[in-house]
């Protein structure tokens, strides 16, 4: 069973997740070449933040909601991020 999220509403209401995710990402000890799997990437804000700290790495974002995928792909571009629904 999957729950379909309204990606636009989530994008506007997820400030606390973005803040928490940014804090966690800043506390990681990374070499910059890791591969990361982001499960339930939401609007992709933290997915792309993670990609910024991995200049030689890769991030794969997976989300079950097509609504999230539509928002995630809009306005974000990075050749080190792959998205899956």
Residue with more model confidence, 43 or 77: 43
Average pLDDT in the chain: 76
pTM tops 0.75, yes or no: no
CA distances from 71 to 14, 35, 42 (A): 13, 23, 8
Could you tell me the pLDDT band of residue 32, with boundaries at 50, 70 and 90? very high
Domains and CATH numbers, the chain: 7-84 (3.40.50.150)
Q: Are 52 and 32 in contact (CB under 8 A)?
A: no
Higher pLDDT, 66 or 68: 66
pLDDT at residue 53, as a whole number: 92
Please report the pLDDT score of residue 31 as a whole number: 96
Contact (CB, 8 A) for 67 and 56: no
Asked if residue 85 lies in contact with residue 25, where contact means CB atoms within 8 angstroms, the answer is no
According to DSSP, the residues that pair with 58 across neighbouring strands are 35
Measured CA to CA, the distance from residue 59 to residue 23 in angstroms comes to 18
* Tokens found for residue 36: 């990361």
């Amino acid at each position: 069973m999957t729950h379909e999220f309204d990606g636009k509403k989530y994008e506007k209401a997820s400030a606390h997740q973005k803040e928490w995710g940014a804090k966690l990402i800043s506390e990681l000890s990374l070499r910059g070449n890791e591969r990361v799997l982001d499960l339930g990437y939401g609007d992709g804000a933290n997915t792309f933040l993670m990609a910024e700290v991995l200049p030689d790495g890769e991030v794969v974002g997976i989300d079950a909601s097509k609504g999230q995928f539509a928002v995630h792909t809009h306005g974000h571009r990075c050749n080190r991020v792959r998205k899956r629904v």
